Amino acid sequence: MDVLTLSRFQFALTVGFHYLYPPLSIGLGVMLVLMEGLWLKTNRPVYHQMARFWTKVFALTFAIGVATGIVMEFEFGTNWATYSRYVGDVFGSALAAEGIFAFFLESGFLALLLFGWNRVSRGMHFFATCMVCLGAHFSAVWIVVANSWMQTPAGYHLVTRDGVTRAEITNFWELVFNPSTVDRLTHTVGGAWSSAAFLVVSVSAWYLLRRKHLEFARASLKVGLSMALVASLLQAVTGHFSAQGVAKNQPAKLAAFEGLYPTTSNAPLTVVGWVDETHERVVGLQIPNLLSFLAHDNFHAPVTGLNEFKPEDRPPVQASFMLFHGMVGLGCAMMVIAALGFLYFRHGSLHERRWLLWILVFSVLLPQLANQCGWFAAEVGRQPWIVYKLLRTSEALSAMVKANVVLTSIILFSLIYLLLFAVFLYLLNDKIQHGPDEADLTPSGKLALPRREQPAH
């Protein structure tokens, strides 16, 4: 295989594996803030027990997220040296800001979150938890800013020196708020919240099925299901605005998402189906006029098709279509599941509906799959460009790197990631089987409840 295919495969592998973990850290960050906040507000020990249990899970996901995250930073230089030279001037500010504002904040206060329970007051610990959560969100902000700039470049101009062209920054805020940043950021963060919410829901539903840790499970379900519902509804809204942005800024990508070849007025939306690439059409269940309406707020508006683009400027159609529809389908399923779970929970009959509890147990996989589909759709749909309409992926490689070297690193990373994944599942399962610590129901030392005067009898 050639260096291009191998390098793309390597990046896909490493980023795909990495992206299992940061969404969990971001989402669990919010969950921990909620749980610890509820503990401070109500003084109910079960919230303390929840915060302690989910902190342990957070530590596990965070460690693997950090360990696998540096890989991508290095890969920009090792495999994509031409790309690094091309975008360094623009992109660098965002990455440097990520280091200064996000990573330091996250890792610094992580020390207090994990090890500070008996060293600082409850209020200070809560503050540290909030900072870790904020840091995790900041890292999402800056990395999505950088990636959005690759989708919809703004705030730059091209400069050629000694025959080498690169993008240079003209306006920092135009770069930060490029046309797709806000839509993609909210959608990414929503996905992260979903992944953590469904993890909490899944583990709690499992405890209900096993009739263990019932008080813990109910309280966790309350927080988890509320968040799952909010996040999955949010995903529908942010997803809609994201797709409208794609229709406007990256029409070739939207056409590939929907397998649309001729530019079409009254364009239909495909619910399920596949692309027949030889006959350039979509086979499947379609709703008339809906694509026009969703993309342009008008049932009759023309939607740009792939035929407007030269064949060498089109993304892979079938893959884009499948990944995008996979993501949308999973998103709808999550909405239904979260709504059902929430309604029955409010009704007080969730524990009797074992079929639903089983669905909730397995629902943890849906947001993870949807996150992967979404990212791959966004990146595959941008092809053949690495920076949209500026630099082709095939022109972005390191000039000096040989295929066998890349292959070696792929084999190495595959083996290591398999090992890490196996150990992660083993330890996560172990924590879940072990369950929350009963001793956490009676916080001691600095965590003890504020002493109240007992009324005399």
Partner 1 sequence: MNFGSLDLNAIWFVLIGVLFVGYAMLDGFDLGIGALHLFTDTDDERRVMLNAIGPVWDGNEVWLVTGGGALFAAFPNVYATVFSGFYLAFTLLLVALIFRAVAIEFRSKQPMRWWRQMWDVAFCVSSLLSSLLIGVAMGNIAWGIPVDAHGEFAGTFLGLLHPYALLLGVTTVALFMMHGALYGVLKTDGALHDKLRGWVNNCIIFFIICYAATTMATLLYLPHMAARMRANPWLFSIALVNMLAVANIPREIHHGRDWRAFLSSCLAMLALMGLFGLEMFPNLVFSNPAPEHSLTIYNAASSPKTLGIMLTIALIGVPIVLAYTISIYWIFRGKVKLDKTSY
Residues that bind partner 1 (CB under 8 A): 59-60, 63-64, 66-68, 70-71, 73-74, 76-79, 81-82, 84-85, 87-93, 95-101, 103-105, 107-112, 114-120, 159, 166, 168-170, 172, 398-401, 405, 408-409, 412, 416, 420, 423, 427, 430
Q: Are 117 and 215 in contact (CB under 8 A)?
A: no
Q: Is 175 helix (H, G, I), strand (E, B) or coil?
A: helix
Q: Which is nearer to partner 1, 352 or 438 (CB)?
A: 438
Q: Which is nearer to partner 1, 109 or 207 (CB)?
A: 109
Compute the least distance from the CB of residue 340 to partner 1, in Å: 35
Compute the least distance from the CB of residue 311 to partner 1, in Å: 31
Query: What's the one-letter identity of residue 24?
Result: L
Compute the least distance from the CB of residue 154 to partner 1, in Å: 15
Compute the least distance from the CB of residue 277 to partner 1, in Å: 36
Residue 378: phi and psi, rounded to 5, are: -60, -40
Compute the least distance from the CB of residue 109 to partner 1, in Å: 7
Q: Which is nearer to partner 1, 80 or 198 (CB)?
A: 80
Q: How far apart are CA 329 and CA 232, in angstroms?
A: 12
Q: How far apart are CA 289 and CA 40, in angstroms?
A: 51
**Total residues found in the chain within this entry:** 457
Compute the least distance from the CB of residue 441 to partner 1, in Å: 14
Output the six-digit token pair for 418. Answer: 């398999």
Q: How far apart are CA 421 and CA 423, in angstroms?
A: 5
Output the six-digit token pair for 440. Answer: 């956490």
User: What's the Rg (C-alpha) of the chain?
Assistant: 24
Q: Which is nearer to partner 1, 287 or 423 (CB)?
A: 423
Compute the least distance from the CB of residue 145 to partner 1, in Å: 13
Output the six-digit token pair for 377. Answer: 């759709």
Q: Which is nearer to partner 1, 93 or 286 (CB)?
A: 93
Q: Are 184 and 249 in contact (CB under 8 A)?
A: no
Q: Which is nearer to partner 1, 168 or 277 (CB)?
A: 168
Q: Which is nearer to partner 1, 312 or 430 (CB)?
A: 430
Q: Are 387 and 87 in contact (CB under 8 A)?
A: yes
Q: How far apart are CA 74 and CA 18, in angstroms?
A: 14
Sequence-separated (6 or more) residues with CB below 8 Å from residue 107: 66, 135
